[in-house]
Amino acid sequence: MKGWVLSIFKPHSHDAADSIDSALEASAEGIRALKISLIGLGVTAIAQLVVVILTGSTALLADTIHNFSDALTALPLWVAFILGRRAATRRYTYGYGRAEDLAGVFIVLMIALSAVVAGYESIRRLIDPQPITNIGVVLAAGLIGFAGNELVAVYRIRVGRKIGSAALVADGLHARTDGFTSLAVVVAALGVMAGFPLADPIIGLLITVAILVVLKGAATDIYRRLMDAVEPELVDAAETSLRAVPGVLDIESLRLRWTTGHRLRAETGVVVDPGLNVIDAHDIAVQAHHALLHGVPRLIDATVHVSPRGDHHNLLAHHHDTTLAT
């Protein structure tokens, strides 16, 4: 119950990297969930759009735009998924997984566009109020938006937990948050029924602010991904794993980066006893590589460089480079 309540108020992410991870890529059931949720959100948004045309509700229009943008953002993710499955080439030696980040840029632009349109319409209706007809229909449409998003949320969360996809679970919480945005439309309609017609454009502006909050989070995530940023917790986990390896005296360097969708690669240099022979140094490198793969989530490959303890600038000739790959 605590997690459910917190999920209502926690801003969600459109980030593409949080929408398709390795578990989703490897699971036909996860792909089916993506298709079904796309159809569900699309049908919900279309039903709301029909009511917007009939009633002229600004708040409902803002919510409808948001739902349409959420549904359409699945398309670039789907394209990125297809590209990400292509084999690496001599030009794209790491494969095509970064297509997911390009899809994320498109998603950020879609969210920004939805905020601009929703804000413009709300301000226009605030300056030039328009009568809203069929208030009962607007109420029903807001409830439809909530129900559609909640059904998609329940399905995504259930499938995501079944296949172990944190991204799909996050998308479910994202849909649930959008569902409660739809309930704001119901509040606007009730305000109009109570004799406060400006409640409609005011609620439309509040929804616009909510979209801007989502935009900020999504843009920050995509910027960090494009700049090869990783969570500091992952670096901590990598350092802890390396220091636990017998024979590792110190960590000379450590780099992590996202290379293929939601997959990490690591490059590290560890310091060992200068009296070790090549075979023993190689064995430590093997253990360090194994420790990294098991200690760092989503790490699929690591390059381990072994250096003897002491003034490494004077001992470059004795360095032993060991590259290990899964």
| SS3 per residue for 211-230 | HHHHHHHHHHHHHHHHCCCC
Q: State pTM to two decimals.
A: 0.68
Rounded Cα distance between 97 and 187, Å, is 43
Using CA atoms, how far residue 152 sits from 16, 128, 142, 168, 219, in Å, is: 18, 36, 16, 11, 24
Per DSSP, which regions of the chain are E strands? 250-260, 263-272, 299-308, 320-325
User: Amino acid identity, residue 80?
Assistant: A
* Cα–Cα distance, 100 to 76 (Å, whole number): 8
Q: How far is CA 69 from CA 77, 137, 176, 193, 233, in A?
A: 13, 23, 15, 29, 32
- How far is residue 259 from each of residues 140, 232, 263, 270, 302, measured CA to CA in Å? 46, 17, 6, 22, 12
Kindly state the DSSP code that residue 16 receives in the 8-state scheme. Answer: G
Q: Which domains does the chain have, with CATH numbers?
A: 2-226 (1.20.1510), 232-325 (3.30.70.1350)
Instruction: Please give the chain's pLDDT, 326 residues, in tens.
Output: 555 455 444 444 443 343 334 434 444 566 677 778 778 878 887 877 787 777 766 666 766 776 776 666 667 767 776 777 778 899 988 888 777 778 778 877 877 887 787 788 778 878 877 666 667 777 877 788 888 888 887 887 787 777 655 456 666 666 776 776 777 777 777 887 777 777 778 877 887 887 788 778 778 877 887 888 888 999 999 999 999 999 999 999 999 998 765 678 999 999 999 999 999 999 999 999 999 999 998 788 899 999 998 754 444 444 444 444 43
Q: Please give the pLDDT value at position 9.
A: 46
Distance CA 220, CA 216 (A): 6
CA distances for 125 relative to 37, 129, 188, angstroms: 32, 5, 13
**What is the spatial order of strands in the sheet that 320-325 belongs to?**
250-260, 263-272, 299-308, 320-325
> Which amino acid is it at 77?
L
